[in-house]
Structure 1
Amino acid sequence: MDAHREGSPDHLTINITRREDPVSEVTEADASASVRRYPNIVVRGPLFGLAEQRRGDRPRWRLLGELDCGFPQMARDELNSLLWFRARDDTGDPVVRRSLLDAVARLEVEATDEVSADGVRYRVVRADEFARIGDGRLEPPRATDPDEDSWDPDAPDPCRTEGFVVDHAAAVGLTEGIDRAGLLGLSYTAARFPEDVRADSRRALTTHPGVVLLPTTFRVVERKEATWSMVTGQYSTPQGARRALVHHLTRPVPRLPDLPDMPELPAWMKVDEKEAALDARAAKEFASRRRPDELVVRGRRFEVIRVERVMRIGPDGPEGSRPSDVDDYGPSRIHPLMDEEGNIAYGT
């Protein structure tokens, strides 16, 4: 697959290498078995985040945090804040600060996916989230996935995406290389996607023909008759998702006082004490086990699943948002004005 490496551009090169250490061999065997057991994929949709490319990094890009924004403007707002705080806290050079603030000013009025400041390129990047499926079941965590055992609700969930280097030509193991080759032609084809979404997806196969797999994340979903609904956000470890499920089942619901003129609460806001007690008991039993991945309570089935994200790569790096990616709102000013000396005009 990399026989023509010298004449092949990075975004078209999948460089497969064999790693001889025992950990890699076990991981490869686990991945190969999982792909056979869960041979198909279910695409949920896009996520957005941020990447930067510094002078010495070209052609590679580095991710600046989790890709967990549901639409592009959320990521643009994150970039707005990132640059504003860098201007306030990370430099004393008026020229550098002015460069950062000029990028902020552009983000306040323009729905752009890329700005440059102080010689650094910043980009809103896009990835598709998917899960593997086999015999009607979504793939659970693998034995070789990074994990831990703490049930402490305040235990940190370390971010493995922040700092990830997007390098299409970096050496990968055999299973990941085969996976990536199989994802090269991935596009939205289901009728549930509007035609403009499907058209943009087909176009991306040409404009961004390469693919990179990002670090795996984990979620809790609720299994319905023929579908799944998300219960939690994404976590870097299966245990982080398990803790989130316990919190989901036991978190306190504020009780409102009975007032004579207060309208009746909608059904979804009412607390059934018997159901709450059953949920709490089930959560306690769930937390007494080591690394459980399923919980059934009151006829509801919760599953911890393994979620993957694939990013499309073109000649100039990671794909940004597509015309058909929907925003709920547009750009706006988020922070007060600042001048190149660092003076902030509050209230303006």
Structure 2
Amino acid sequence: MRDHHKQYSSPDHLTIRVAHRDDPVSQVTELDAFRSGQRYPDIVVRGPLFGCAVQTPGDRPRWRLLGELDAGYPQDARDELNSYLWYYAKDRAGDHRERRRLLDGVARLEKKRIDELTVGRDRYRVVRADEFARIGDGALEPPRATDHPEDDHWDLEKKNPPSDAEGFVVDHAAEVQLTNGLERLALRENVYRSERFPADVLADSRRALHTHPGLVLLPPAFRVLEREPESWSMFLAKQFPTPQAARRGLVHHLTRSVPMVREIPGLESEYSERDVEVFAKAAERFMRQRGANELRARGRTFHIVRVERMMRIGPDGPEPPRPSDQDHQEPTKIHPTMDEWGNLSYDD
């Protein structure tokens, strides 16, 4: 029977296991996802984001994300991996031999565009995922009621909670609820189609259907977008881990960043004194509304938007950067030189 199972079962990167959960939280989350899917049935793909993943002997064949997966370019993610290995060598290496192995990886990342390397028994990879938002009747999906309701404070000085993507285990065959499984099936054949994409980008997108035919949805994140007359634009470049963190980010920018920029000597600001006053009052009104996702001020409209990321999976794990992904930055030395005993040198 065991051999029969191996012969006829699907490989992990093609298997989607759906499990029904009876607990109240799961049922409410499923209902929320179902209703959102009806109201926002289409998607708008923004483009790729990059991050780092590790596969350890205990995790295989699964991979685990090392960070938030929000880098705009592959080299940004390589630099994140560079820093991860350097600090691991500095603070957590078990002995000088392990530190030497980690620093050898750092040295390689300082000189070459490397998307995968092995350090000891661990495999590290730069990975990509496409960010998208759901849309219906011209409106982008706002946060759902079940998205982190526990984070509801307005303390702008308090550190945001960690991202759900950090430490996320990329396991295509892990059990998921019905809506997640259906969404993955619906998105699995998704490719770039717009004429605005160059031919090599379109070709790489089609090729990925065969090289990495599986698909995993990462935990959602949240952004602050501005509604333009015919489109949407990114108002804050940062990705936020919760809806309330995005709201705090918007308030912080309007009430602290905007006035601070105006006070920098010799720097011409796009904002007037009147802008500062109006933004401050609009932010006060915004904070008095529990769970508000829209702020209007000075003829501008800002929205808190829920975004998702789909990661393609192949027989050997998550998809790395594609040849057509924009990758113009060069590797560089980021940290001081460290020897295998942990001594730092600042001379070079």
Shared fold (TM-score greater than 0.5)? yes
Which residue among 15, 30, 35 is the counterpart of 1:28? Answer: 30
Q: Deviations over 1:205-232 (max 9, x none)?
A: 1100000000110111000112101112
Q: 2:233 aligns to what?
A: 229
Which residue among 105, 125, 128 is the counterpart of 1:126? Answer: 128
Partners of 2:90 and 2:295 in 1: CA distance: 47
Which residue among 212, 217, 222 is the counterpart of 1:213? Answer: 217
RMSD: 1.5
Q: 1:47 aligns to what?
A: 49
- How far residue 92 of structure 1 moved from its aligned partner, in angstroms, is 4.3
**Runs of 4+ residues deviating >4 angstroms:** none
Paired residues in the alignment total 337
Amino acid at match of 1:316: D
Q: 1:309 aligns to what?
A: 309
Is the alpha carbon distance of 1:122 and 1:31 closer, same or farther for their aligned partners in structure 2, counting shifts above 3 Å? same
Amino acid at match of 1:109: K
Partners of 1:27 and 1:225 in 2: CA distance: 33
Q: Deviations over 1:226-256 (max 9, x none)?
A: 2101112211110000011111211222424
Q: Deviations over 1:262-314 (max 9, x none)?
A: 7xx65xx2541112111111011101111101111111111111100110000
Secondary structure, counterpart of 1:115 in structure 2: strand
1:12 aligns with 2:14: yes
Partners of 2:227 and 2:104 in 1: CA distance: 48
1:199 aligns with 2:203: yes
- How far residue 141 of structure 1 moved from its aligned partner, in angstroms, is 0.7
Which residue among 152, 164, 175 is the counterpart of 1:149? Answer: 152
Partners of 2:302 and 2:332 in 1: CA distance: 39
Q: 1:75 aligns to what?
A: 77
Is the alpha carbon distance of 1:234 and 1:256 closer, same or farther for their aligned partners in structure 2, counting shifts above 3 Å? closer
Structure 1 contact 218–241 (Cα < 8 Å) conserved: yes
Q: 2:299 aligns to what?
A: 299
1:253 aligns with 2:257: no
Is the alpha carbon distance of 1:346 and 1:23 closer, same or farther for their aligned partners in structure 2, counting shifts above 3 Å? same
Structure 1 contact 253–271 (Cα < 8 Å) conserved: no
Q: Deviations over 1:307-336 (max 9, x none)?
A: 001100000000111111112411111122
Partners of 1:270 and 1:129 in 2: CA distance: 30
Q: Deviations over 1:39-83 (max 9, x none)?
A: 000000111111111011110001111011000000101111111
Partners of 1:145 and 1:256 in 2: CA distance: 38
Secondary structure, counterpart of 1:30 in structure 2: helix
Partners of 2:122 and 2:16 in 1: CA distance: 27
Partners of 2:305 and 2:240 in 1: CA distance: 11
Taking structure 2 as the reference length, what is the TM-score of the superposition?
A: 0.93
Secondary structure, counterpart of 2:153 in structure 1: coil
Secondary structure, counterpart of 2:174 in structure 1: coil
Is the alpha carbon distance of 1:256 and 1:152 closer, same or farther for their aligned partners in structure 2, counting shifts above 3 Å? closer
Of 146-155 and 277-286, more deviation after overlay is shown by 146-155
Of 327-336 and 275-284, more deviation after overlay is shown by 327-336
- Structure 2 residue runs of 5 or longer lacking an equivalent are none
Amino acid at match of 2:253: H
Amino acid at match of 1:201: S
Q: 2:340 aligns to what?
A: 340
Taking structure 1 as the reference length, what is the TM-score of the superposition?
A: 0.93
Q: Deviations over 1:130-155 (max 9, x none)?
A: 00000000001111111321011023
Amino acid at match of 2:247: R
Partners of 2:76 and 2:280 in 1: CA distance: 34
Q: 1:64 aligns to what?
A: 66
Amino acid at match of 1:242: R
Partners of 1:92 and 1:176 in 2: CA distance: 40
- Structure 1 residue runs of 5 or longer lacking an equivalent are none
Of 77-86 and 270-279, more deviation after overlay is shown by 270-279
Amino acid at match of 1:116: T
- How far residue 163 of structure 1 moved from its aligned partner, in angstroms, is 1.0
Of 35-44 and 14-23, more deviation after overlay is shown by 14-23
Is the alpha carbon distance of 1:79 and 1:298 closer, same or farther for their aligned partners in structure 2, counting shifts above 3 Å? same
Partners of 2:44 and 2:221 in 1: CA distance: 15
Partners of 1:306 and 1:326 in 2: CA distance: 25
Partners of 1:150 and 1:338 in 2: CA distance: 42
Q: Deviations over 1:74-126 (max 9, x none)?
A: 01011111111111221241211111111111111110111111211111111
Amino acid at match of 2:77: A
